[in-house]
Structure 1
């Protein structure tokens, strides 16, 4: 005996189940078909990989920037990378760099002073199809820790791209800066550094600002000559092109800068004291010259005395029976 629900037997439920299964499969196929189309914006290049349960994960195609809608294949995975010039900023201004908070490259000068380096690294991703495919094979298949503390793929939003730059590119930049800064003394790059070192020119500030600027330009040029080659050697291919580093500022550690400030204040006090001594000497020389003039012309002394009488004084009586009243036609002896 077969049971039925509402007059509907097992055959009915089998048909319904088959229909639902067919509908789910159809919707899945339709969704995959719709997702199988993609395009790139002006600032993107895309690497398309095979997907699906039974497909391999090899690269299927590369889509250039500003493409029209293209068929990428059902269940394919699209990795989109930046195609325009990008930059990586190293700065002490909290919140303005690629790392959260204050971020500077700290490296010692040739005389052992720890220097803080700030600057911006500019570059573009190599858009050659074979090169970008190699890049995706090497760096698009692994994750990098982002500033949010989570792991991301390099193509996975700005957090993933920044994580890639911070963990792969930043160490190469740091190493180049250390090599170049290590060839110069502190005073060659920051003239005030001479104030706190044993330097015969310390009081005058050591190296001139013009020389410092020239040395900084030399460092920047040397970095730009070596950085692209170092990146290629480290990454394994010329994945980055149009590489340029702009060295913005070189700073001293807080304790060294504090010593410089104190030294500058001390030199300012010395200069002020020297100025007072010079002024006193000048006043003494002027008084001596004036005294000689009075000895040669006694009347001149009296004239200067009269000129020095304040306008609110009506009678001037220096003594010895002599008085002068301003405005009177002649000076009269006092009674």
Structure 2
């Protein structure tokens, strides 16, 4: 049995916590506040590109229909449930059929990226170059935006491809660096985030959900900003991997169950939204940060309870199996080719 790499689990544990914390803070109008804007820049500058990178490391081309359908099943389950959940709390869902609501974009994009895995394996260099070009220049296309998560799928695709092709080597390299090298790279990464903060780069560049027309920039300017933002995300991802460690702790357990945390945390955040909407008028910015940090810790810990993950995976695999059952006769049976070959001898 292969030994599980707990560095991946620990990195996912840290990243899923930043997802929960970022979404809690986002309900408190943080981008207009000097104190709250700092952690938001830190989180949103890299957490999803890093997640996509890690997803690329573990992506496989085997059982492709099951892998793709798993994310689509979760997507089309969460959407109506979230609509009903927000109706209970008298909130406006404000999403359309073609636009994945809020954080569910990742489920659709994952399905798209997984479809590309066989092509990445067959044409690695071509797909790498293609993904970088698409990621940098995709914002030119006016017809691709939030609809069907097209913009995010294009912009974050290079991180998935790099993770698939070179993720394990990068992970080993990052962990082998000396302390002074890690400190240098970390300072460089934080310097990039500091530049974003001090220069007040428009935060929606980090979302990856909009084309250049929405930012009212020229094509060279848009490509340049996209490149700078991607470099910052890459540096922060490397910094994370340098310090993540490899012990099997509670952090690794959270990372192993990060899918459940991701899918379920949206219901927690939206359930708390009425309180979060009013909190900025009651507490100071530092206290809001502390409260959101503690709530994020608690929510991440509770939602990473293993039965949640098992139930979610059982549900998605069961529905996926039912959807694929009519097509079972069309799929090749294991050993059929080898049996025929041996029979000829």
Whose helix proportion is higher, 1 or 2?
Answer: 2
Task: Specify which structure has the bigger relative contact order, considering alpha-carbon pairs within 8 angstroms and separated by 6 or more residues.
Answer: 2
TM-score by length of 2: 0.23
Structure with greater Cα Rg: 1
Whose strand proportion is higher, 1 or 2?
Answer: 1
